[in-house]
Every structure is written in C-alpha cells, then in structure tokens.
Chain A
C-alpha cells in the first residue's frame, strides 16, 4: 500500500466506520497513520488507523501536518467535499460542546506499557 500523503481524503473500508470519509493528518510509521474525520462531520474521531483499512480518493486537501479540526473543515469546504459526499456540517453549539468535552478528558490515555514502566521504576 503506498504511504498516504498528509491531506489526502480517503474512505474507511473496514470496521464499523467503513464507508465514511476521513483525511490523513500525520504519518506514524510504515503501517499506521493518524486520521481524523472530524468526528462531528463524518463520525471518525482523530485516531491511529491502519493504512490497509483506508482507500484514498483523488481529493487532496492543502493542510499542514497535525492540523486542527477547524482547519480541516475549512479545507473540506474549499474542496467541496461537503457537497460531494453530502455531509452535514455541525452547528457552532456542537463544536463548542465537543471542544469542552475534549479538554475535560484529554485524548492521551496512559497505555499499558507506560503504566508497566512506571511500576518497574517504583520497584527500583
């Protein structure tokens, strides 16, 4: 699978979100890339996704790496992705609610590896 460039709009073909649209935000390594829907527009949250589960479309967005959701929504409008896939734009209230929710519990959860390392340090 060719590695996807930042900003390519692709469709998720596997999993419960298959069939919905997302755009590449940041490459992670050979098999994984960071992808976001954003959640309110297409239902795919900002998550790490396997390249194999994505199918690129020809549409490309001009966004910098690790762009925020607002920039992506603007780029969607410019590349008229909204009309092509007839997506529904979230209202301002939903955007605010989403923002406060994200600040309440940050995305980064402590993975099992980190908690394990912490335990070994305490033992020393």
Chain B
C-alpha cells in the first residue's frame, strides 16, 4: 500500500491530530524524451476527475503525451516526408 503522509491538523475541539494524506505522484514525463511535461498538475487520479478537460493538460495534439519540442520534430518530419 502506498505510504500515507501524516499531516498535523488542529481540530475544532483544540486538539492536534494526525490526518492521513496520499503522497502526490511524480511529474508527468514525455513519452520519448522523458522530460517533464508542462501544464499537467501533480494530482492523484481522484482529484483529476474534478478538473475540467482544459485544466488537465495542454490542448495541443499529443498534448499530455509528448513534450512541445518532440511534437514539433514529429510534425516537421511529417511535412518533409510529403
């Protein structure tokens, strides 16, 4: 089971208790150059459900999958191949 993070919280009755919170996942990575992807927040999947589509990542083709420079190379080769 993924280790739960313990966070100190002050409850309304004045006591200080430990609350449990899941650790944030690591950065999203580009599929072929493994660099960090911009515009994707590090949230656990249940929090991603609340976000709207445009908040989850860039709206470029291959938006959340390839980084911007990789998509540029991909389309440049496609244009040259014509």
Contacts and interface: CB of A to CB of B under 8 A. Distances in A.
A13 B59 contact: no
Interface string B69-82: 00110011011101
Contacts of A59: 82
B76 A55 contact: yes
A25 interface: no
Say which size band chain A's interface belongs to: 10 to 19
A73 B25 CA distance: 49
Interface string B41-82: 000000000000000000111000000100110011011101
Given A18-B60, A18-B61, A19-B61, A13 B71 contact: yes
Contacts of B61: 16, 18-19
B75 A19 contact: yes
B71 A11 contact: no
Interface of B: 59-61, 68, 71-72, 75-76, 78-80, 82
Interface of A: 10-16, 18-19, 55-59, 84-85
